[in-house]
Amino acid sequence: MAPGEVAALAEEFGVGTFRPISEPHQYTTHVLNQGRTFFEFFIGEDGLETVRQGASVGPTTGTSYEPRVNLCTDEVTDDLSLTLKGSQELAGAAILVDGKLQGRLSGGPGYQMNIGISTGPHEIRIEQAGYQPIVVPVDYGPETADDEIELPAPVESG
């Protein structure tokens, strides 16, 4: 299904909140939400590939996700929740996973960002103006639980 087809189906069921996300990444390009429940879609070049349901479970407890389902293969996969924590100098830094932008490190307390990451090897790269990039290689197996990475202090660029 193309984005227009998904939007038409959502509209048919009375849900008018289907929209592209502001910074698409390897797991989600579009989202549809109704109240506290939402659906994340990944629409690739060939159309709709994966969907995952989630729910906002409270202001302090965050988000609860169901496993991601590949609609082409029926493969069920689950993403890890990876929390990156950094120093104040990293507030607003770009977070890239395998070269694809995932978002920016928050400027709030703790200067952290939560991202979904699939199992397997990945390169996490943090880029901030005025500092050398920080590169963190990770390799998560299927048995790995959620993880938290404390980022090293940034080094000013030359």
The winner for highest mean pLDDT among 16-25, 45-54, 89-98, 107-116 is: 89-98
> In this predicted model, what pLDDT tens digit does every residue of 47-102 receive, in sequence order?
888 888 888 766 555 667 777 777 777 766 666 677 788 888 888 889 898 898 88
Which element (helix H / strand E) includes 8? helix 3-12
Residues of the chain with pLDDT > 70: what percent?
80
> Which tokens in the block code for residue 114?
């939560």
Mean pLDDT within 104-130 = 78
3-state helix, strand, coil in the chain (%, to 5): 10, 50, 40
- Measured between alpha carbons, how far is 130 from 69 in angstroms, rounded to an integer? 40
Tell me the C-alpha to C-alpha distance, in Å, between residue 8 and each of 15, 33, 34: 10, 15, 16
pTM of the predicted model, to two decimals?
0.55
Q: What is the DSSP letter of 109?
A: T
Mean pLDDT within 145-155 = 82
Domains and CATH numbers, the chain: 3-77 (no CATH), 80-150 (2.60.40.1120)
Average pLDDT over the chain, rounded to an integer: 80
> According to the model, what pLDDT value does residue 128 have?
93
> According to the model, what pLDDT value does residue 47 have?
84
Q: Report whether pLDDT(109) > 70.
A: no
Q: Count CB-CB contacts under 10 A for residue 136.
A: 15
> Which tokens in the block code for residue 40?
């994340």
> According to the model, what pLDDT value does residue 36 have?
83
Which element (helix H / strand E) includes 118? none
- Measured between alpha carbons, how far is 95 from 113 in angstroms, rounded to an integer? 9
| Phi, psi values for residue 92, rounded to 5° | 90, 0
